Amino acid sequence: RLGTPGAEQWRARYDAAGLDPVVELVTSQGAEVIWVGMPAVEEPDSTLVLVELNSADEDLEDRFPGVRYVPGGEYVSSPEGGYTDVLEGPDGPERVRRVDGLHLCPGGAVRLAQPVLDLIEARWAVPVAEDWTTGEWREPPLLQEPEECPAP
96-143 pLDDT, tens per residue?
Answer: 999 999 999 999 999 999 999 999 999 999 999 989 999 999 998 889
Helical residues (DSSP H) of 28-149, grouped into ranges: 44-63, 73-76, 106-124
Write the pLDDT tens digit of every residue in 24-47. Answer: 999 999 999 999 999 999 999 999
The pLDDT assigned to 50 comes to 93
Please report the pLDDT score of residue 1 as a whole number: 64
Q: What is the pLDDT of residue 90?
A: 87
Contact 59, 12 (CB under 8 A): no
| Mean pLDDT, rounded, of the chain | 93
